[in-house]
Structure 1
Amino acid sequence: MSKETFHQLIATLTAEIADRPLGPALDQWLNARHGAGTPTFDNLKQACIDGVAEGWLCEREGGGIRYGRVFKAEDALHRFSVDVVDMQDIAGPHHSHPNGEIDLIMPLEGEATFDHRPAGWCVYPPGSAHRPTVASGRALVLYLLPEGQIQFTKSS
């Protein structure tokens, strides 16, 4: 899987969601149309597995989490940035989503969940915040951030 092919997979998906508000309705729609077991899910998961193996995904590591921004927000991706993390039984840094966040949860080992959610999509609305947590195994999580906006909470 090339980075260019991955870009096209993401662009095809973001074209479908570009004008939809981030919230429960989008969460339900994504899981019904592109959820676990669908061709979209399977293709994105395999692309992420391949990208990690080839070294162009999750190329950084900090605090026990492998991560990396794959693409900055751009018009071709309908103003979404794309990040992928590789987490195993760990909580990441607390952050907020000024414009919301769309996550694709792809378990790799065990019965991994992300924020108590199994394989599939999880949509956070604008203004939400969390400490992203993978439990019961290992998972890759793909993040789509409108305009690439994320605000990490300062440690005290």
Structure 2
Amino acid sequence: MSPHEFQCLIAGVTAQLAGRPLDSQLANWLNQTWPANGATFRDLASACQTGVAEGWLCNREGGGIRYGRIFKPLPETHGFSVDVVDMKDIAGPHHVHPHGEIDLIMPLTEGATFDGHPAGWCVYGPGSAHRPTVANGEALVLYLLPQGAIEFTPA
């Protein structure tokens, strides 16, 4: 798996997301279309684990969190930026999603959750905010941001 191959894999997902409202219906659709026990989820999780091991994903660290933006919003990723974080029993910095956020939760520890969500997808709508939190172990989280928009806040 190379960064270019990873981009092609992600593009297969983002092509299905472009122009869709970021809401609970999208979260349900994602979890039905690409469930945590399905081939696409396994391919994405494997690619992320490879990227972390090879150092082209999560190549920065701060506050106990490994993270990194692998792609800025590109035509190839249908206007989504692509980030991956590696978190273990920690809350990250508070931020706002001006256009929403789509997360793929990939537990590395069985039972690990992201903001209370198990393995799979969760979607935050435009204007939502949170302190991203991984509990009960370690997880990789891939997040897609429309237009790469994120605003870190002091909350």
Query: When the two structures are superposed, what TM-score results if normalisation uses the length of structure 1?
Result: 0.98
TM-fit CA distance, 1:17 = 0.9
Match of 1:126 in 2: 126
2:80 matched to 1:80? Answer: yes
Q: Percent identity?
A: 66
Where does residue 57 of structure 2 map in the other structure?
57
Runs of 4+ residues over 3 Å off in structure 1: none
Q: Quote the residue 2:93 is aligned against.
A: 93
Unmatched tracts of structure 2, length 5 or more:
none
- Look up the match of 1:29: 29
- Using the TM superposition, name which of 133-142 and 107-116 deviates more: 107-116
Offset at 1:110?
Answer: 3.4
State how far apart, in whole Å, the 2-side matches of 1:127 and 1:6 are: 28
TM-score, normalised relative to structure 2: 0.98
Q: Measure, in 2, the Cα distance between the counterparts of 1:114 and 1:83.
A: 15
SS in 2 for 1:126: coil
Instruction: Work out whether 1:106 is the aligned partner of 2:106.
Output: yes
Aligned residues: 155
Report deviation, 1:35. Answer: 1.8
Deviation at 1:154, TM superposition (A): 2.8
Give the partner amino acid of 2:22: L
3-state DSSP class of the match of 2:110? strand
The 1-side partners of 2:8 and 2:119 are apart by: 22
Secondary structure at 2:56 match in 1 = coil
Which whole-Å CA distance do the structure 2 matches of 1:59 and 1:67 have between them? 6
